[in-house]
């Protein structure tokens, strides 16, 4: 790059070193001209003064502030977080409390609006955005996936080889703001299972429905397996995040299957958690189905957003990723 800057090169340097030194020191650096220049920030709205401020961005000149705000109201909170990184105007606009208030009231709708208003005033200094970031919540924009592997010894062939197989299977959880959740255990990968993880799934998909409740960072979940012998699956999970507000990990604290009789199901089929209310951890109400506390397949759940189900590393086969560390 050519430059008009003159640099004095010591005479004792060799011709080659003198040329290299001059090339290095005389390189033009346009960004140095910005030092000491005060750049006017882009205002989120029109200035209150009489002089009208002209925004240089084409989208801001063509799209009124009212329509821009209307677009933001139709975004999910995670998309709002990405949009806030575009420019200062978007960042200031997205900090509007009404955007985060609606997101918080929808996420914690089971607590009730009155309880949420009390929490945001007493714990989060009246900031709905701060409440969204810091308060533990179950994410509903994707799946929680637990990838489990174990070693299975194969059949010896000709008494020479003793094959060993690495078996891989997944546990899937999808939560809803209403307190319902879907559960599936399968050897299918994430990109295949995401298509059937909804309430329209058929019986062949083996997607089971249950109820969950979040208390602090502890999640209590229960579902009923249909069949000749009714079996109840109870899970106790701990919610955490790799970063503040991520809520992208679920540690399995307890996983118990137990029996239940038909008397327990009367008038309680709409809420499975009411069936086990007050039960002990090893309690069963069907002698043919003992309570079993499972010790295997308890790998932590990793959250995978819907837009990343096709590209997630959890789709890799066993020959490319024999073991996965959730972190």
Model confidence at 6: pLDDT above 50: no
Confidence category of residue 205, pLDDT binned at 50, 70, 90: confident
Give the H/E segment covering residue 165: strand 164-175
The pLDDT tens digits for 289-320 are 888 888 888 899 999 999 899 999 888 888 78
Q: Which domain holds residue 125?
A: 58-134
Give the H/E segment covering residue 99: helix 97-107
In a domain, 285, yes or no: yes
Q: What is the pLDDT of residue 3?
A: 45
**104 & 157 share domain:** no
In a domain, 16, yes or no: no
Task: Kindly report the average pLDDT of the chain as a whole number.
Answer: 80
**Among the listed residues 135, 315, 173, the one whose alpha carbon sits nearest the alpha carbon of residue 251:** 173
Counting the structural domains of the chain, the total is 2
**Among the listed residues 136, 140, 161, 162, the one whose alpha carbon sits nearest the alpha carbon of residue 151:** 162
Distance (Å, rounded) from C-alpha 256 to C-alpha 233?
A: 6
Q: What is the pLDDT of residue 143?
A: 94
In a domain, 280, yes or no: yes
Average pLDDT over residues 109-138: 90
Domain boundary among the residues 134, 158, 179 is at: 134
Q: What is the pLDDT of residue 181?
A: 92
**174 & 287 share domain:** yes
**259 & 205 share domain:** yes
Angle between helices 97-107 and 113-122 (to 10 degrees): 120
Asked whether the beta carbons of 249 and 299 are under 8 A apart, the reply is no
Distance (Å, rounded) from C-alpha 161 to C-alpha 260?
A: 46
**268 & 187 share domain:** yes
**Among the listed residues 262, 261, 216, 254, the one whose alpha carbon sits nearest the alpha carbon of residue 235:** 254
Distance (Å, rounded) from C-alpha 243 to C-alpha 71?
A: 28
Higher pLDDT, 36 or 277: 277
- Report residue 181: phi and psi, to 5°: -150, 160
**122 & 149 share domain:** no
The pLDDT tens digits for 118-127 are 999 999 988 9
**150 & 262 share domain:** yes
- Report residue 239: phi and psi, to 5°: -90, 135
The pLDDT tens digits for 18-68 are 555 545 555 666 666 766 666 555 555 554 555 565 666 666 667 787 888
**166 & 275 share domain:** yes
Q: What is the DSSP letter of 23?
A: H
**151 & 240 share domain:** yes
Distance (Å, rounded) from C-alpha 107 to C-alpha 142?
A: 14
Distance (Å, rounded) from C-alpha 62 to C-alpha 86?
A: 17
The pLDDT tens digits for 227-250 are 767 888 889 999 999 988 889 999
The CB density around residue 131, as the number of other CB atoms within 10 Å, is 23
């Amino acid at each position: 790059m050519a430059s008009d800057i003159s640099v004095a090169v010591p005479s004792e340097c060799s011709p080659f070193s003198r040329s290299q030194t001059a090339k290095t020191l005389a390189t033009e650096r346009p960004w140095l001209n910005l030092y000491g220049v005060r750049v006017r920030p882009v205002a989120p709205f029109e200035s209150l003064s009489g002089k009208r401020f002209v925004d240089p961005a084409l989208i801001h000149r063509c799209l009124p502030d009212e329509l821009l705000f209307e677009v933001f109201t139709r975004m999910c909170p995670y998309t709002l977080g990405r949009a806030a990184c575009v420019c200062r105007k978007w960042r200031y606009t997205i900090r509007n409390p009404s955007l985060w208030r609606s997101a918080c009231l929808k996420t914690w709708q089971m607590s009730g609006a009155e309880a949420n208003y009390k929490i945001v005033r007493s714990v989060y200094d009246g900031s709905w955005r701060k409440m969204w970031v810091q308060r533990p919540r179950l994410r509903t924009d994707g799946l929680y996936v637990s990838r489990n592997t174990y070693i299975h010894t194969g059949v010896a062939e000709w008494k020479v080889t003793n094959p060993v197989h690495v078996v891989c299977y997944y546990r899937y959880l999808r939560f809803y703001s209403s307190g319902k959740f879907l559960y599936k255990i399968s050897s299918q990968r994430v990109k295949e299972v995401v298509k059937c993880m909804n309430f329209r799934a058929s019986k062949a998909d083996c997607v089971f429905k249950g109820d969950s409740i979040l208390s602090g960072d502890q999640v209590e979940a229960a579902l009923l397996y249909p069949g000749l012998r009714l079996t109840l699956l109870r899970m106790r999970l701990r919610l955490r995040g790799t970063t503040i507000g991520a809520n992208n990990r679920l540690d399995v604290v307890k996983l118990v299957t137990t029996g239940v009789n038909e008397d327990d199901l009367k008038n309680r089929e709409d809420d499975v958690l009411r069936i086990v209310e007050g039960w002990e951890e090893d309690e069963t109400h069907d002698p043919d189905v003992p309570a079993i506390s499972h010790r295997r397949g308890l790998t932590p759940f990793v959250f995978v957003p819907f837009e990343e189900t096709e590209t997630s590393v959890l789709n890799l086969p066993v020959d490319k990723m024999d073991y996965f560390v959730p972190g």
